């Protein structure tokens, strides 16, 4: 298994990749690392930490589309994350639903099952 830093780095490198699939591990890794790094930046540089948030938001778009692909949904479901109440369902799907077993129309299972 890759370590957390490599998974986090690879997520940023794939910011413009809207093809294929991403795992729950990638989503949780991205979330937890961003909370930790964001908190440290707020403590160190205060008002300028928003720059980090913009970069994270841009990187999260590709990751979120790939995660929707992993559960068998179109990447356009990303729009649902901006609709109150509906976004709770979509966040649950992203962070808790298992990957589609085997290959789906977006590619092979990232777990290789």
Instruction: Tell me the average pLDDT across 90-103.
Output: 91
Instruction: Say whether pLDDT at 112 is over 90.
Output: no
Q: pLDDT tens, 84-95?
A: 999 999 999 999
Task: Report residue 107: phi and psi, to 5°.
Answer: 140, 180
Cβ neighbourhood burial of 101 (10 Å; 0-12, 13-18, 19+):
exposed
DSSP 16-48: T--SS---HHHHHHHHHHHHHHHHHHHHHHGGG
Which CA distances in Å does 68 have to 16, 46, 65, 110?
Answer: 15, 33, 5, 13
pTM of the model: 0.87
């Amino acid at each position: 298994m890759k370590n957390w830093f490599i998974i986090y780095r690879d997520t940023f490198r794939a910011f413009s990749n809207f093809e294929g699939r991403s795992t729950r591990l990638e989503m949780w890794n991205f979330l937890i690392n961003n909370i930790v790094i964001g908190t440290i930046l707020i403590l160190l540089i205060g008002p300028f930490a928003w720059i980090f948030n913009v970069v994270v938001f841009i990187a999260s778009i590709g990751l979120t589309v790939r995660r929707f692909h992993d559960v068998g949904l179109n990447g356009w479901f990303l729009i649902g994350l901006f609709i109150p109440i509906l976004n709770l369902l979509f966040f649950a799907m992203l962070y808790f639903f298992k990957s589609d077993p085997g290959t789906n129309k977006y590619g092979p299972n990232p777990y290789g099952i």
